[in-house]
């Protein structure tokens, strides 16, 4: 009952904060344009007047990919810099944006505008940055230790496989367990952020320990709620992908593909808000019932 109530209230809160999805979509669009533009102008400069451009337009194949790698063989240092720096900026931007989302969710019925949204982004940035740094320890333990231990029986199963189906089942189950364990770590640090915002606290370590105690008593309920939103996202994504495959990929109707892609990106931002909204509602309901 608590899960359904948190899901329903989180869904309602997400709809009330729908403007945030537009802000997130705009930030994503601007960042993507800044990230992709250097590569676009590079390809345009190098290949726009050659037959190579026509081959690029038809899709990627190993022949032209090999030609591209050979032609840009001296470009790798700059390429990795171009890739790593925006990647770091994206991580920091995600921490920054989470402050705006959670701040708006915790604020209740307060109206959201661009000023208040970015105000919350700045207000919670350094708190959430500390959470991000702590979460790195969790992810290192997850990918460096836990997933390896979990993968041992699946690897043994694959080594003794008598058919290809056994290998397929082993790989898929191993991947599923990895996703589930990753979701637990991700959920845990979401609740740390929510606790900091709900209590308006700067004590990151205390909030982390408090979140461990909070989830320790309510783990399966919180996790089931998190997975429920995740399943909703997968279902809607599958529907979007099914329609996407039916859209024309040539001619002026190609604009429909672009608009559909942007609609999907908007949906992803809406679901991101819903993750935080449902988690906050679960935290609120659980804390009220058992302070």
Residue 39's domain comprises 2-289
Question: Which among 102, 97, 96 is positioned nearest to 125, based on CA atoms?
Answer: 96
The CA-based dihedral angle spanning residues 58, 62, 63, 69, taken in that order and rounded to the nearest 10 degrees: 110
pLDDT at 44: 53
Q: Which tokens belong to 111?
A: 């109206």
230 class by beta-carbon count within 10 Å (0-12 exposed, 13-18 middle, 19+ buried): middle
Say how many domains are in the chain. 1
Instruction: Write out the chain's pLDDT in tens, 291 residues.
Output: 788 889 998 888 888 888 888 889 888 888 777 766 555 555 555 554 554 444 444 444 445 445 555 555 555 555 555 557 777 888 899 999 999 999 999 987 778 888 889 999 999 999 999 999 999 999 999 998 988 888 888 778 777 767 777 778 788 888 898 999 999 999 999 999 999 999 999 999 999 999 999 999 899 999 999 999 999 999 999 999 888 888 776 666 677 888 888 889 999 999 999 999 999 999 999 887 665
Question: Which among 2, 9, 8, 16 is positioned nearest to 223, based on CA atoms?
Answer: 2
**Is the CB of residue 174 less than 8 Å from the CB of residue 168?**
no
pLDDT at 251: 62
Q: Which residues contact 90 (CB under 8 A, 6 or more apart)?
A: 31
pLDDT at 100: 93
What is the Cα–Cα distance from 261 to 267, expressed in whole angstroms? 10
106 class by beta-carbon count within 10 Å (0-12 exposed, 13-18 middle, 19+ buried): buried
For residue 245, report the phi and psi dihedrals to the nearest 5 degrees.
-70, -20
């Amino acid at each position: 009952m608590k899960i359904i109530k948190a899901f329903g209230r989180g869904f309602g809160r997400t709809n009330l904060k729908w403007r945030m999805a537009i802000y997130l979509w705009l930030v994503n669009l601007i960042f993507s344009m800044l990230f992709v533009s250097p590569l676009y102008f590079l390809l345009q400069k190098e290949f726009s007047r050659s037959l190579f451009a026509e081959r690029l337009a038809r899709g990627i194949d190993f022949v032209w990919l090999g030609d591209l790698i050979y032609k840009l063989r001296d470009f790798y240092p700059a390429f990795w810099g171009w890739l790593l720096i925006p990647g770091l900026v994206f991580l920091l931007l995600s921490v920054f944006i989470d402050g705006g989302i959670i701040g708006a969710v915790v604020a209740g019925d307060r109206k959201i505008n661009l000023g208040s949204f970015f105000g919350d982004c700045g207000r919670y940035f350094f708190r959430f940055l500390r959470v991000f740094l702590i979460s790195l320890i969790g992810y290192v333990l997850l990918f460096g230790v836990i997933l390896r231990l979990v993968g041992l029986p699946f690897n043994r199963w694959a080594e003794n496989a008598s058919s290809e189906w056994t290998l397929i089942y082993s790989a898929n189950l191993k991947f599923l367990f990895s996703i589930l364990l990753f979701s637990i770590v991700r959920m845990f640090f979401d609740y740390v952020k929510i606790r900091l915002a709900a209590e308006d606290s700067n004590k990151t370590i205390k909030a982390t320990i408090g979140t461990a105690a909070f989830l320790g008593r309510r783990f399966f309920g919180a996790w089931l709620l998190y997975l429920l939103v995740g399943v909703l996202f997968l279902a809607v994504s599958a529907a979007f992908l099914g329609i996407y495959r039916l859209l024309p990929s040539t001619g002026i109707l190609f604009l429909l593909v672009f608009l559909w892609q942007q609609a999907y990106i908007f949906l992803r931002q809406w679901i991101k808000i819903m993750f935080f909204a449902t988690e906050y509602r679960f935290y609120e309901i659980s804390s009220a019932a058992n302070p």
